[in-house]
Amino acid sequence: MKYYSLHHKSPKSSFKNAVISGIAPDRGLYFPEKISPIATDYIENIEKYSHHEIAFEAIKQFVGDEIPDEKLKEIIAETITFDFPIITIDKNCGSLELFHGPTMAFKDVGAKFMAKCLEYFNENNPEEVTVLVATSGDTGGAVANGFLGTKGVNVVILYPSGKVSDIQEKQLTTLGQNITALEVDGVFDDCQEMVKTAFLDAEITKKLTSANSINIARWLPQMFYYFFAYKSLKQLNKELVFSVPSGNFGNICAGIVAQKLGLPIKHFIAATNINDTVPNYLIEGKYVSKPSKPTISNAMDVGNPSNFIRIQELFDNNFETLKSNFSSYSFTDDETREAMKKIYATSQYIADPHGAVGYLGLQKYGLKTTEFGVFLETAHPVKFLDIVEETLPVKVAIPEQIQQIMTKEKVAKKISSFQELKEFLTA
């Protein structure tokens, strides 16, 4: 499989090169040259296959012959090590829980898959690569965990001092081995700016790669969730509508790839907080990015979603086609809290603020009786403990994997300028 740059000014790339470099030389995102539907027979009989088999069937064309089938199966088995249950909220809607992985965030799947691909491609390379990532919270933990112990790969995570939750900080700073946490005196935008500058710096950029959802190996495996959900819900015989709490729009974009592969999905809803660049685009027909605003669903505080350009490409850059398959709505923090209360009142289900935004998307869309709505629950409520316990009359039990990490010692190096980052990376 070849990938082209969405800026159309770089040569086509192999899967391997796209995974290693993350972004094309012209700074465009990579996009697969061709998406061929899976046999309808396979999809009609999906319940006969295991999650590992389905994931292999879904992703194999994107990898092509660049990873042998047996190795790819092994990578999938190491990635999909937990379940993706759907919890019924009421008779026409359910929560697809993506948070049962090691760091309790849905990003665990993409991070692990990418780590294993990079490890495979780098096996015979004497030089180590460095994954450089800025995090406002969940990405860092998932990447740290996914890459822990990966041979030939070092991970450097920048996070804003005092701006991530205690749990998130522990997940970033306690692993050791090939993972280094840099605690930046600043806000998330400062971290991201330093990372961008590093990628543009000729002296250090060569050995760097990125691990956010612009990387195809982090983006594409997210389509597995939609296949697994379809497998669970097929016997309902209803049309499926997915509402995805969206920040950089990587997750929902992978869902649309699943639809292109032939998965019968009726409609997609990208639910956002007040960072409403895409909802506005759908109303106005003009894309205007804005600086991000802080909210209680902070993993979605993104003013210029990087993957939206891929969504446009998936709909042939046709505004009308996009609008008939895809809606996007924005919600305030107050509406999000009200939704958390309403979900709890109807079903005693504890949704985190991101999942609640997804639920609101389904409400606004207005499900028909022939449809079943699924909102993606992207983080365990414990990751947003303060907001959940303030909003709902509950105490959230701290899961085992979080309890363990809370007793470990934080190790982070403080930095306050790009120069210090560069010194660290060249040392």
381 interacts with ligand PLP by CB under 6 A? no
Residues 208-227 that bind ligand PLP (CB under 6 A): 213
Say how far residue 7 (Cα) sits from the centre of its chain: 22
Between 299 and 340, name the residue whose CB sits nearer to ligand PLP: 299
248 interacts with ligand PLP by CB under 6 A? yes
Tell me the sheet residues that pair with 133: 157
Choice from 1, 59, 96, 105 touching ligand PLP (CB under 6 A): 105
CB 98 within 8 A of CB 378: yes
- Amino acid identity of 256? I
Nearest to 228 by CA among 321, 341, 120, 100: 100
Binding mask 325-354 for ligand PLP (x = CB under 6 A): -----------------------------x
Residues 126-145 that bind ligand PLP (CB under 6 A): 138
Query: In the bound complex, what is the minimum distance in angstroms from residue 268's beta carbon to ligand PLP?
Result: 12
What 8-state DSSP symbol labels residue 262?
A: T
Number of residues that bind ligand PLP (CB under 6 A): 16
Query: In the bound complex, what is the minimum distance in angstroms from residue 247's beta carbon to ligand PLP?
Result: 3
Q: What is the spatial distance between Cα 131 and Cα 158, in angstroms, rounded to a whole number?
A: 11
- Identify which range of 36-44, 117-125, 178-186, 239-247 contacts ligand PLP by CB under 6 A: 239-247
Nearest to 135 by CA among 283, 248, 284: 248
247 interacts with ligand PLP by CB under 6 A? yes
Nearest to 71 by CA among 124, 113, 131: 113
Q: What is the spatial distance between Cα 421 and Cα 225, in angstroms, rounded to a whole number?
A: 36
- Identify which range of 10-18, 162-170, 246-254, 314-322 contacts ligand PLP by CB under 6 A: 246-254
- Identify which range of 14-22, 192-200, 235-243, 244-252 contacts ligand PLP by CB under 6 A: 244-252
Neighbours of 368 (CB within 10 A): 13
Where are the alpha helices (H) located in 80-155, listed in sequence order? 107-121, 138-147
Choice from 168, 178, 192, 246 touching ligand PLP (CB under 6 A): 246
Tokens 């305030």 appear where?
A: 332
Q: What is the spatial distance between Cα 126 and Cα 422, in angstroms, rounded to a whole number?
A: 22
84 interacts with ligand PLP by CB under 6 A? no
Q: What is the spatial distance between Cα 107 and Cα 300, in angstroms, rounded to a whole number?
A: 13
101 interacts with ligand PLP by CB under 6 A? no
Q: Which residues make up the interface to ligand PLP (CB under 6 A)?
A: 105, 107, 138, 213, 245-251, 299-300, 354, 378-379
